[in-house]
Structure 1
Amino acid sequence: MSDISLTTAVLLCVAAALAGWIDAVVGGGGLLLLPALLIGLPDSSPTYALGTNKAVAVTGTSIAALTYARKAPLDRRLALRLGVVALLAAGGGAVFASAVSKEALQPLIMVVLLGVAGFVVLRPRFGLAPEGAAPRVPSRRRKVAALLLIGVGVGFYDGLIGPGTGTFLVIGLVGLLHMSMLHATATAKIVNVGTNVGALAVFTANGTVFWQLAAAMALFNMAGAWTGAHMALARGSGFVRVVLLTVVTALVARLAYDQWAT
């Protein structure tokens, strides 16, 4: 990675810190981190961006998961089951990631970004309900559906592409299992650790991780995740909406420019 300039490395580290913060608070840090890597590593195969992204993300997600596990309401048994299923599914998704070209990947990421932005705009009260209400106990059928849709579906997606996984996990957990926003965010971090580990194992085996760059970015990502998790526990996630929409809009504009500018 000697061809990466110091300016690019610094900017990627800043992006990693912001991504860790966003991911810990509301999920979706990959919406910032993966596009940043694609932009910062224009001459590399997209599988290197995907692999390096996972090497960075697993550190910040683990810090956030440990923080939530100590201080937030969490069904550890359910979270671990979902995490194991998602780990295996993410590994399967990562196997197919090498078949995705950069030309196809960037428009696909833009679609995902716009979808997440649209959901946030159209559901302004999502996750903002008071946390004091008694939790609803999900049925066995809903738990099985969660294992299939969240564990397998989102897990495979995270291994294949990744951006928005944390947000999709939170949305699925709230919608399927009637979790509160804080409970869903805490659970999502456990599951996200599994998806990151599963995908990273495959990318490592294929040698598509820039480890030196990932190590530097991981330090910033962990700092951002630690800060974000504590802010979410103290203040809730509503304040992240404007930041998330701003980041999504900027990334879509930049990726569109890179894709179609002549």
Structure 2
Amino acid sequence: MDLVLLFCFSLCAGFIDAIVGGGGLIQTPAILFTFPQYPVATLLGTTKIPSFSGTSMAAWQYAKRVQFDRPLLLVTAVTAFFAALCGSSLVAYLPNHFLKPVMLVLLIAVAIYTYLKKDFGQQPHQPAGPVRNTWAWGIVIGGVLGFYDGFFGPGTGSFLILAFISLMGFDFLHASAHAKVVNLATNVASITYFASHGHILWPVTILMAVSNLTGSFFGARLAILKGNSLVRRFFLLVVCGTILRFAYELWK
């Protein structure tokens, strides 16, 4: 029964993550509750392969219908890979609870801004700025959010989307598509670290990967079909969910 519930949670996580990120808000608490006897590093490592499989499906679906800025993606993703590798290597040595108050305040500000600014991410897709400046922002985004994803994780997809919109001039759909590819790089980095240190439950991760992949397929198709307005609503929903989770953990 526990594995059936975990399958269902992973399916929902893949669906939501494909649209706007934040699948970890569903998947991570589910596995922590199901297998409390295992170390946290092992459970976090086990969720990385399902996340990678679902994100791969979403990225493939977007690639068939959305134009990618490939040079920018390469710069951002490579930076994010090495930053996530550093972040994952510190999970077992440093407490990450100090990040939660900072993230909570930031997410509340993001939610309020997105809700009040109705055209945020709704404008035509018009990336702005010279190539050199754009690549510089890509390195900053990849470095900061790559490290954050490897070290802590929740909300990374939403932060990537926010960064691509506010710093690059993307609309929600293009921002979500590019965020998926960067997230692939951070997932590969985390899998590399956790697998090499024996922090993955292979039978469980394979089951979750199949489920996450299925959910991601339908989530990406829905996002592409419905466009920016749907992605914006899911963005707000996931950000609010992240706020509630962080607030609960801080209160507890």
What is the distance in 2 between the residues matched to 1:76 and 1:45?
38
> How far did residue 191 of structure 1 move?
0.7
1:194 to 1:241, Cα distance in 2 relative to 1, 3 A: closer
Per-residue CA shift, 1:186-235, capped at 9, x if unaligned?
11111110010011100000000111111111111111111111111111
> How far did residue 255 of structure 1 move?
4.4
Listed as ranges, the gaps of 5+ residues in structure 2 are none
> Aligned match of 1:33 in 14, 19, 27?
27
Please say if residues 76 and 138 of structure 2, whose CA atoms lie closer than 8 Å, have aligned partners that are also in contact. yes
Please say if residues 121 and 165 of structure 2, whose CA atoms lie closer than 8 Å, have aligned partners that are also in contact. no
Is 1:19 matched up with 2:42?
no
CA RMSD of aligned residues (A): 2.5
> How far did residue 80 of structure 1 move?
2.3
1:114 to 1:244, Cα distance in 2 relative to 1, 3 A: farther
Please say if residues 121 and 170 of structure 2, whose CA atoms lie closer than 8 Å, have aligned partners that are also in contact. no
1:117 to 1:49, Cα distance in 2 relative to 1, 3 A: farther
Instruction: Give 1:154's aligned residue.
Output: 145
Equivalent residue runs for 1:134-145 within 5 Å: 135-145=126-136
Is 1:199 matched up with 2:193?
no
Per-residue CA shift, 1:10-41, capped at 9, x if unaligned?
22222211111111111121222222222322
Q: TM-score, normalised by structure 2?
A: 0.87
Please say if residues 112 and 163 of structure 1, whose CA atoms lie closer than 8 Å, have aligned partners that are also in contact. no
Q: TM-score, normalised by structure 1?
A: 0.84
Q: Give the length in aligned residue pairs.
A: 248
Per-residue CA shift, 1:41-97, capped at 9, x if unaligned?
222211012101111100000000111111112112221221122111111111111
What's the secondary structure of 2:90's corresponding residue? helix
Please say if residues 155 and 242 of structure 2, whose CA atoms lie closer than 8 Å, have aligned partners that are also in contact. no
1:63 to 1:199, Cα distance in 2 relative to 1, 3 A: same
1:234 to 1:127, Cα distance in 2 relative to 1, 3 A: farther
Please say if residues 146 and 172 of structure 1, whose CA atoms lie closer than 8 Å, have aligned partners that are also in contact. no
Instruction: Give 1:184's aligned residue.
Output: 175
Q: Which amino acid aligns with 1:27?
A: G
Is 1:49 matched up with 2:43?
yes
Equivalent residue runs for 1:64-143 within 5 Å: 64-100=58-94, 104-105=95-96, 108=99, 112=103, 115-116=106-107, 118-124=109-115, 125=117, 129-130=121-122, 133=124, 135-143=126-134
Instruction: Give 2:220's aligned residue.
Output: 229
Identity in percent = 33
